[in-house]
Structure formats: C-alpha cells, structure tokens
Amino acid sequence: MSSHERNASAGLAALLILQGIMLGSLYAGVAPHPPAVTPLFGIGPFLGASLAAATAALCLGPSTTTAGRILAGAAALMALVSFGPQKYFDAQFALIWPAVLSGQIAAISVFASIFRRAGQHGSSEVCDVA
C-alpha cells in the first residue's frame, strides 16, 4: 500500500468515525448534535450518503482507482458541509471545534492524496481492504 493510499484511507476512516458519531448524536439527541433538517436537505440521509461514499472509496482504493478517487473526493466534500471553515462562525464552535479541526485535517489529507496520485501516471494496482 502506497503512502498516498494510506493517507487517503486514514483520512476517510477519520471522516467515517466523525460522521458516524454525528449521526448517532443526532438520533440520540445528545448535544451538540447536528440539526435534523437544513434548508436544502435532511442531515440524516446526507450523512448516510457521505458515509456510503467514504466506505465505497475505501473498498475501491481511494487513490489507486478512478472510481475510488471520485468517491473519496465526494466523501471529503460532503464532510466539509459539517466540518468546513464556515463552522468557525457557528454559535456552538466552542463545543464542536475538535470535530471541526479533525474533519478539516482528514478532508485535506484525502484531497492531497487523491490529487497527488491523480497527477502521477503508472501503477493501477488496487489494494485489498480487509
């Protein structure tokens, strides 16, 4: 497994854990939890789609296959809805900053790995996800 693959996989794993905890806190009503609905969509289904994209990217190889890179990028973009820079202005930032910073670092790790790998030509091996 290349360093690009490990970095992307680690970033996706962090996003899976962070978003899984968010989804659990939403359903359990544990504060601070995300709102059930935003103006554009319901948070539960959105988190489910984001978790699914990250899991599929891990299975395909987040930096070794085209589909894996697309899904990894989509998962990182979707995670930034919850953890993006706009959260610095959130009224609950003092309560959520560890998740926001962790999510941003994880998303940056995924982006850096997939874009660096996409710019390289060569190996098309797919790593086994056990």
For residue 124, the model assigns a pLDDT of: 47
Query: What are the φ/ψ torsions at residue 75 (nearest 5 degrees)?
Result: -65, -40
> From first to last of its 130 residues, what are the pLDDT tens digits of the chain?
788 789 999 999 999 999 999 999 989 988 888 888 777 788 899 999 999 999 999 999 998 899 999 999 999 999 999 999 999 999 999 999 999 999 999 999 999 999 886 666 444 444 455 4
CA neighbor of 35 nearest in space, from 100, 73, 81: 81
22-49 confidence digits (pLDDT tens): 999 989 988 888 888 777 788 899 999 9
Radius of gyration of the chain from Cα atoms? 15
Tokens of 6: 């490990």
For residue 31, the model assigns a pLDDT of: 84
| Cβ contact 115:67 at 8 Å | no
Spell out the domain ranges in the chain. 3-119
For residue 120, the model assigns a pLDDT of: 67
Instruction: Say whether pTM exceeds 0.95.
Output: no
